[in-house]
Amino acid sequence: MRDVIVIGAGGGGPVAAKELAARGLDVLVLEGGPHYTDPENQWSRYENDANNILDGYFRVGPSERFDKPAWFRELPQNSFLWQLAGVGGTTQHYYGNNPRAMPGVFTGYDGPDRDAYDSAHRFPFTYREMIPYFEWVEATLPVQTAAMGTKESVYFRGAEGIGLPVNTTKDVTRDSFRPQENAILQPGGNAGTTSDPQQLLYPNATGCTFCGYCFQGCFEPRRAPRNLKAKRSTDNSYVPMMLTADRWAPGGRPVTLIADAYVTRIHTEQRDGETVAGGVTWRDTRSGDEHTEDAEVVIMAGGCTEDPRLWLNSGLPNPNGWVGRGYTDHFFDWVVGVFDEYTGNSAGVGSSARCDYPGRGGLEQVGLPPALQGFSMGLSASGVRGYYDNGRGPTGPWDGKAGRPVGPELKEMLADIDRLVNILVLTDDDVEPDNRVVRSAFPADSNGPIPKVIFNGRNRSRRTQRNREFLASEAARLLRAAGATKVIRLDWAPLLLHVQSSMRMGISEDDSVLDETAEARFVKRLYVADNAALANSLGGPNPTLTSQALATRTAEKIFQKYFGGDAFVGRESPMSSIDDRVTEGVLAAR
């Protein structure tokens, strides 16, 4: 009998596991995907090798990427779902951006813009209560002000040109621009000063080496211990800490991590008239063997698609019908500026600058290597533009009608990607119940019935659509003010990347799955500790920091309710992930 079983080792599961193991609990983490323990030799710079959804090392599928197929998800609409399986989950290829949620998405907010947010689906506690958990994660990863480069200076020039003020705090209460708060270690030593690989070896180089390949996973600087790799994806930060909790936490116990262990069922029983979680069945994806584990508490952290799937496949109660509903994605769009000057688009940290518009969303500068730059410009709901204009794209302060560039126009833009600046539009979406995960009627895979992601990508609420149009126009204005000679808007089809809220916590049991502690309303001793637990789309910011802060809070609530412990956030200091006592050797799964 374990104290706690955590299902999933992505962005949230290792956070809860680390905190509970540090306080002496026996924690088992089961991850359905692979565990890359030697990324310097297992990963590459090749974009297709990493990101091909069928056999890339970053895919949703088992370890044997060339021998076994990826796990299928049914997507009946024009959309692209970009998630990863494996230890580290989708944080393996995120850009480390960790802005806080906007205060207006929490209950009790009474600012002048209080009605600008999704006021029907606020968090069931205040922003002030959340601040200590934000600070805990910011200190642990750590989150720092991003390192700057040429593309950021161009972006800031445009932000100033449209009259935005700079924001110098972590809290966002007005329209403004700022450097990103991100979880990437600042460059030190030779890092950031040379591209000579021999001079970028640890310890002569520390932190970010400005390689420009964040999306392929971070193994820089080479020869550094895993916990000192630059990008603080959970495989580089929380996973090393949870595996060595006995070494740095008085009374702590190391977490047991099993990769290639796909959980297919959560077991429950009736106690005093209530449904209570008590264990799981998991499948070894290599051998096919099934195993059963029992625990006092079960935490779901498999992500916004797999959490509802597992719940439904386990036959757990869903009396209000909200399991899987509210699947939201920040209704992304992509606006690109072409410049006559060098912008450094492909160099350095992937995203180090942003603008925030409380109640509407935000704009992120994003740098990309060549193949991903091409991919980003091929995804459009409006079809093609320019020489083959089909007349469907919206018009605005960009050149011509929105849509993807093709032919000579695309060739010209990709001829030198270091003259481009990309802006990602992130809206503050409304939680929409018809966007959801259900079980597919397609044949089951080896892990059971597969998920079907129903996403009405174009028919959003009026507020969400209004937010997207406003932000796309602001992005075009910013690029013009920065000196762009051409601005194109792609009008992206749904790219499901910042997905969240499919198992949302909420104020009312009528439209939520979790209570204010992230415990399931209809199954006791069952919690959710990933993006699926988020109450809404956060006002538009990237969800990782809020998800990890919420997972920290959830771990504390579990420790207090079921193990007789005390609150620790605000009473203790978080252990920093850059403590060099943790070495590469501890990362073998126990």
Confidence class for position 195, pLDDT limits 50, 70, 90: confident
Q: How far apart are CA 14 and CA 428, in angstroms?
A: 27
- Looking at residue 579, its pLDDT comes to 59
Tens-digit pLDDT profile for residues 372-422:
899 899 888 888 886 565 667 889 999 999 999 998 999 999 999 999 999
Q: Which domains does the chain have, with CATH numbers?
A: 2-184+231-254+327-434+453-572 (3.50.50)
Q: What is the mean pLDDT of the chain?
A: 93
Query: Which run of H or of E encompasses 48?
Result: helix 47-51
Q: How far apart are CA 60 and CA 154, in angstroms?
A: 36
Tens-digit pLDDT profile for residues 477-489:
999 999 999 999 9
Which ranges of 416-539 would DSSP assign to H, the alpha helix?
462-482
Backbone torsion region of residue 175, taken as left when φ is above 0, otherwise alpha when ψ lies between -120 and 50, otherwise beta:
beta
User: Token digits for 502?
Assistant: 């499919």
Contacts with 163 (C-beta within 8 Å, 6 or more apart), sequence order: none
The answer to whether residues 56 and 32 touch, using CB atoms and an 8 Å cutoff, is no
Backbone angles phi, psi at 283, to 5 degrees: -115, 130
Backbone torsion region of residue 538, taken as left when φ is above 0, otherwise alpha when ψ lies between -120 and 50, otherwise beta:
left
Rounded to 5°, the CA angle 496-501-504 comes to 165
- Looking at residue 496, its pLDDT comes to 84
Backbone torsion region of residue 426, taken as left when φ is above 0, otherwise alpha when ψ lies between -120 and 50, otherwise beta:
beta
Q: Please, what's the largest Cα pairwise distance for the chain?
A: 71
- Looking at residue 574, its pLDDT comes to 85
pTM for this one?
0.96
Cβ-in-10-Å burial (0-12, 13-18, 19+) of 163 comes to exposed
Q: How far does CA 167 lie from the centroid of its chain?
A: 23
In three-state secondary structure terms, 7 is strand
Q: How far apart are CA 560 and CA 437, in angstroms?
A: 32
Mean pLDDT in residue range 76-81: 85
Tens-digit pLDDT profile for residues 244-297:
999 999 999 999 999 999 999 999 999 999 999 999 999 999 999 999 999 999
Confidence class for position 586, pLDDT limits 50, 70, 90: very low
- Looking at residue 589, its pLDDT comes to 33
CA torsion, points 525, 531, 536, 538, in degrees to nearest 10? Answer: 130
Tokens 């990602």 label which residue?
Answer: 424
Which ranges of 256-391 would DSSP assign to H, the alpha helix?
306-313, 370-376
Tens-digit pLDDT profile for residues 509-521:
999 999 999 999 9
Mean pLDDT in residue range 55-64: 95
Confidence class for position 81, pLDDT limits 50, 70, 90: confident
Confidence class for position 587, pLDDT limits 50, 70, 90: very low
Amino acid at the residue 26: D
Confidence class for position 235, pLDDT limits 50, 70, 90: very high
Q: Of the candidates 44, 337, 79, 328, which has an alpha carbon nearest to the alpha carbon of residue 213?
A: 44
- Looking at residue 585, its pLDDT comes to 39
- Burial call 310-341: b when 16+ CB within 10 Å, e when fewer: bbbbbebebeeebbbbbbbbbbbbbbbbbbee
What distance, in Å, lies between the first and last C-alpha atoms of the chain?
A: 17
- Looking at residue 459, its pLDDT comes to 81
Q: How far does CA 452 lie from the centroid of its chain?
A: 20
